[in-house]
Amino acid sequence: MGIIEVGRVCIKTAGREAGKKCVVVRVIDKNFVEITGPKKLTGVRRRRVNVKHLLPLPLKIDIPEGAGDDEVLEALKTTELYKKLVKAE
Amino acid sequence: MRIIELNVRGTRRRLKKKRVAVRTPGGRVVYHYKPKRHSPARCAICKKPLNATPTGPKSFMKKLPKSKKRPNRPYGGNLCPTCFRKVILKKALKEGEALLEGDVSDVESV
């Protein structure tokens, strides 16, 4: 469904994790998706969020639906973004 | 011209509190000292009073834990939710643009 799909990298725009990046892991329905930071990397917990609270970025990583945090982390390591995130910390 | 007695016992009292002229039963007009008022925390952009931020004397504020003094989010206790959303979106969009300019290899057309 549209831009927000499994593997899409997003920025959270609401709540305590606002401004942090996350990856969509599973699409629950037209309003909700499950995301993860992963927490080790960006601090975003694995949780269900409203799509309205996400801003999609022009970057998609290759992960299966419902991927675990470790899988997501491995997939992220190949991208430019990962270096930036590590540098930021 | 009416004469108002200062009704002062110690200078600190005079400095800290608000003075109000009151006519006493004896016919004199004296100052009574009201407790200081405390202004609520306001949004730095739109100046509206913030929710979930208590106001009170410093002694009261000091006793509260940090989590009860502001919402737990970036700019919590500084910006109102509406202004906060605008600021965050602006920042996020900028980052998105930067990503487009930087690494083109794994960027898809959106």
DSSP letter (8 states) at residue A78: T
- Indicate whether this complex's ipTM tops 0.85: no
- Percentage above 70 pLDDT, chain B: 80
What is the residue type of B41?
A
pLDDT in tens, A48-71: 999 999 998 888 888 999 888 888
- Tally A–B CB contacts below 8 A: 54
Q: Do B100 and A13 touch (CB under 8 A)?
A: no
* pLDDT cut 90: percent of chain A above it: 36
Q: Residue range B53-64: average pLDDT?
A: 89
Which residues of chain A neighbour B93 with C-beta distances below 8 Å? 55
**pLDDT exceeds cutoff 80 at A85:** no
- Closest among A49, A61, A63, A56 to A17, alpha carbons compared: A49
Read off the tokens for B101: 């300019």
Q: How does pLDDT run across B1-51, given as a tens digit for each residue? A: 667 777 666 555 556 677 788 888 988 888 888 877 888 999 999 999 999
Q: What is the rounded distance in angstroms from the CA atom of residue B75 to the CA atom of residue B58?
A: 21
Reported pTM: 0.71
How far apart are the C-alpha atoms of A88 and A12, rounded to whole Å? 17
**3-class DSSP assignment, residue B31:** strand
CB B54 within 8 A of CB B61: yes
Please say whether the beta carbons of B43 and B50 come within 8 A.
yes
Q: Which residues pair with A32 in a beta bridge?
A: A50
Query: How near does any CA of chain A get to the CA of B6, in Å?
Result: 51
Joined tokens for residue A88: 């930021």
Confidence of residue B108 (pLDDT cuts 50, 70, 90): very low
Q: Looking at domain A8-88, which of 3.40.50.1360, 2.30.30.790, 2.30.30.30, 3.30.70.1150 is its CATH number?
A: 2.30.30.30
Predicted local distance difference test score (pLDDT) of residue B97? 79
Give dist(CA B79, CA B85) in Å, integer. Answer: 9
Q: Which of residues 30-89 of B touch A (CB under 8 A)?
A: 72-74, 84-85, 88-89
